[in-house]
Chains A and B, each alone.
Chain A
Amino acid sequence: MKKLVEKHPLAIRWFHWVNFPVLALMIWSGLWIYWANDIYRLGWGDTTLYKFFPQSFYDATHLDHKLAQGMAWHFLLMWVFFLNGLLYVLYTLFSGEWRYLLPNRHSVREAIEVTLHDLGLRKAAPPVQKYNGAQRIAYTAVIVMGLGSLLTGLAIYKPTQFGWLTQGLGGYEAARVEHFVLTVGYVLFFIVHVAQVGRAGWNNFRSMVAGFEMEEVPAPAVGAGGPVLTQRQPDARV
């Protein structure tokens, strides 16, 4: 028989879905800004493996000649990105959700097991819990990355008044590179995240919108009562 299990609190779902378009627009307006001085590449010496970005990318996206607009969007949405992230962190702290999200001493081993399993190199699936080790590491890392984007962004935005920060990050040019690399990190996170959501299926995706998951449970003994609504108990291992 089935059981309806509460998975994601409403607040977490809001933070998640507000962040999605805001971060997307931050990246998009960031590309408008980056276009004005698009010097980064992967490579060494005269060898370039990949240039950020090839002309074909600009031709397809029309993100050229929008520097002023890009800065205007970026410096408005930065507030939404910052406040949403701050409220999320405060919520997880005060609600106790951090217990499911922060990596613990099992997370690295678990993350390796999960990765091997997902790549088809390991048969045994890791035990089901709210977030496995790989998720704990990824979801915590992306919050740290968010903080990194705020700090490197501030270091580029106000390099004299926040000179201590800019110098601490290795200087103005270095902070700009770091800001860019973090953005590439979000894009990679997004690709893996969407692929994993696709693999996990409808039930899991729905839980990020509606908050609950349906679970199959063994039928209870006769007379033990009907279907149940349960709140997932905190993981025993925390």
Chain B
Amino acid sequence: MTQEVTPSPENPIPPGSSPDAALDREATRRTRRSFIGLGLAGLGGVLGWRYLLGRPDADGTPAPFRRVMDANSRLTAAYFRETRLAPEFAKSLAVREVRTNGDAGLQSPLDLAAWRLAVQPYGGGNAREFTLADIKALPRIEMTTQLKCIEGWSIIVNWAGTRFVDFLARYPLATRSGQPIKDIANPPADLAPYVSLVTPDEEYYVGLDMHSAIHPQTLLCYEINGQPLSLEHGAPLRLVTPLKYGIKHLKRIGTISFADTRPDDYWAEQGYDWDSGH
């Protein structure tokens, strides 16, 4: 495509000037316009970003960032299938020394003999109490999975315990009608959407969506490497869910309850994704 530059009010070619001079003027005009445009776009970007950062906080992060995290979670939930399992590894690959990271909720004294798991039924009524023997009476599941810390490190750990879904099948406390979960792909319609787990001293607490809670790899865990949990690993009973970062693996479970809305979550209140799921 070749066209001549024709004189116009916007682009006059004064009599006697060279064609190059006219082109130079055209180039200068376009250059100025483009750089001003780029500058304004850049300024708009900076102001827009500053606006986002200046929005009121929603649990430790500006509200728009929280909304995007939640939107990402909804998208993930739509794609979620309980049949997709976290990879399992040979038991021999499990680490001997399992790393610990933080002791929130573990600093209060604990009498192991007096410990009970309290479960608040979704349908209301008094909390039910369970001993560790009650939990151990349920089918024992052993699995070797990767524990992924939100900080970025991961370790392969051999866990044993009972599936949370097996607990709920035996003790149907998560439905209003009291009916048990028979098939995790088709749970009862009145199943609670959320689960809350809290340490006995209520210093550490996590919330889980029910789909993750009843996933076949979500355990109420009482053993690591075939040994009962040590206090620092959450004795006598902790949560293990390879569908979530380590921050959701609450140690020393005191109370479990069910909820219609997202339960409080220790790390989500400090700016982390509430879902923190895989």
Query: Which A residues lie at the B interface, using CB under 8 A?
Result: 1-4, 17, 21, 33-34, 36-37, 39, 67-69, 71-73, 75-76, 79, 158-161, 163, 166-167, 171-173, 176, 206, 209-212, 214, 225-231
Do A163 and B3 touch (CB < 8 A)?
Answer: no
For B24, what are the chain A residues with a Cβ–Cβ distance below 8 Å?
2
B262 beta carbon closer than 8 Å to chain A? no
Q: What are 29 inter-chain pairs, A to B, with CB distance below 8 A?
A: A21-B45, A68-B272, A69-B61, A72-B61, A72-B62, A72-B68, A72-B69, A75-B69, A75-B273, A79-B68, A159-B148, A160-B85, A160-B86, A160-B242, A161-B79, A161-B84, A163-B84, A176-B152, A209-B34, A210-B30, A210-B31, A210-B35, A214-B23, A214-B27, A225-B4, A227-B20, A227-B22, A228-B2, A228-B5
Within 8 A of A (CB), among B103-158: 146, 148-154
Q: Which residue of A is nearest B22, CB measured?
A: A227
Do A160 and B278 touch (CB < 8 A)?
Answer: yes
Question: A160 to chain B: closest CB distance in Å?
Answer: 4
Do A71 and B272 touch (CB < 8 A)?
Answer: yes
Do B5 and A163 touch (CB < 8 A)?
Answer: no
For B66, what are the chain A residues with a Cβ–Cβ distance below 8 Å?
72
Contact of A2 among B23, B87, B150 (CB under 8 A): B23
For A69, what are the chain B residues with a Cβ–Cβ distance below 8 Å?
61, 271
Q: Which residue of A is nearest B270, CB measured?
A: A68
B26 beta carbon closer than 8 Å to chain A? yes
Question: B222 to chain A: closest CB distance in Å?
Answer: 23
Q: Which residue of A is nearest B273, CB measured?
A: A71
Known: A4-B23, A37-B151. A68 touches B69 (CB 8 A): no
Contact of A229 among B3, B38, B149 (CB under 8 A): B3
For A225, what are the chain B residues with a Cβ–Cβ distance below 8 Å?
4
B177 beta carbon closer than 8 Å to chain A? no
Do B152 and A160 touch (CB < 8 A)?
Answer: no
B65 beta carbon closer than 8 Å to chain A? yes
Question: B86 to chain A: closest CB distance in Å?
Answer: 4
For B2, what are the chain A residues with a Cβ–Cβ distance below 8 Å?
228-230
Taking A4-B26, A21-B42, A160-B86 as given, write out 7 further A-B residue pairs in contact, using a Cβ cutoff of 8 Å, ordered by the A residue number.
A3-B23, A4-B23, A72-B273, A75-B273, A160-B243, A163-B84, A211-B34
Complex CA–CA separation, A17 to B41 (angstroms): 9
For B42, what are the chain A residues with a Cβ–Cβ distance below 8 Å?
21
For A230, what are the chain B residues with a Cβ–Cβ distance below 8 Å?
1-2
Do B152 and A36 touch (CB < 8 A)?
Answer: yes
Question: B255 to chain A: closest CB distance in Å?
Answer: 26
Complex CA–CA separation, A210 to B66 (angstroms): 38
B182 beta carbon closer than 8 Å to chain A? no
Contact of B65 among A33, A76, A206 (CB under 8 A): A76
Question: A34 to chain B: closest CB distance in Å?
Answer: 7
Do B151 and A36 touch (CB < 8 A)?
Answer: yes
For A3, what are the chain B residues with a Cβ–Cβ distance below 8 Å?
23
B81 beta carbon closer than 8 Å to chain A? yes
B72 beta carbon closer than 8 Å to chain A? yes
Contact of B23 among A34, A159, A173, A227 (CB under 8 A): A227
Complex CA–CA separation, A225 to B68 (angstroms): 58
Known: A158-B76, A161-B84, A225-B4. A34 touches B152 (CB 8 A): yes
Contact of A75 among B4, B68, B79 (CB under 8 A): B68
Residue among B65, B79, B273 having the largest count of chain A Cβ atoms under 10 Å: B65
Do A161 and B80 touch (CB < 8 A)?
Answer: yes
Within 8 A of A (CB), among B44-64: 45, 60-62, 64
Complex CA–CA separation, A87 to B87 (angstroms): 34
Residue among A3, A37, A173, A210 having the largest count of chain B Cβ atoms under 10 Å: A210
Complex CA–CA separation, A79 to B72 (angstroms): 10
Do A76 and B272 touch (CB < 8 A)?
Answer: no
Do A17 and B69 touch (CB < 8 A)?
Answer: no
Do B35 and A209 touch (CB < 8 A)?
Answer: yes
For B271, what are the chain A residues with a Cβ–Cβ distance below 8 Å?
68-69, 72
Do A68 and B1 touch (CB < 8 A)?
Answer: no
For B150, what are the chain A residues with a Cβ–Cβ distance below 8 Å?
36, 67, 71
Q: Which residue of A is nearest B26, CB measured?
A: A4
Complex CA–CA separation, A201 to B232 (angstroms): 62
B102 beta carbon closer than 8 Å to chain A? no
Complex CA–CA separation, A159 to B85 (angstroms): 10
Complex CA–CA separation, A176 to B148 (angstroms): 12
Do A68 and B60 touch (CB < 8 A)?
Answer: yes
Do B61 and A231 touch (CB < 8 A)?
Answer: no
Complex CA–CA separation, A122 to B66 (angstroms): 55
B14 beta carbon closer than 8 Å to chain A? no
Do B153 and A39 touch (CB < 8 A)?
Answer: yes
Complex CA–CA separation, A72 to B20 (angstroms): 53
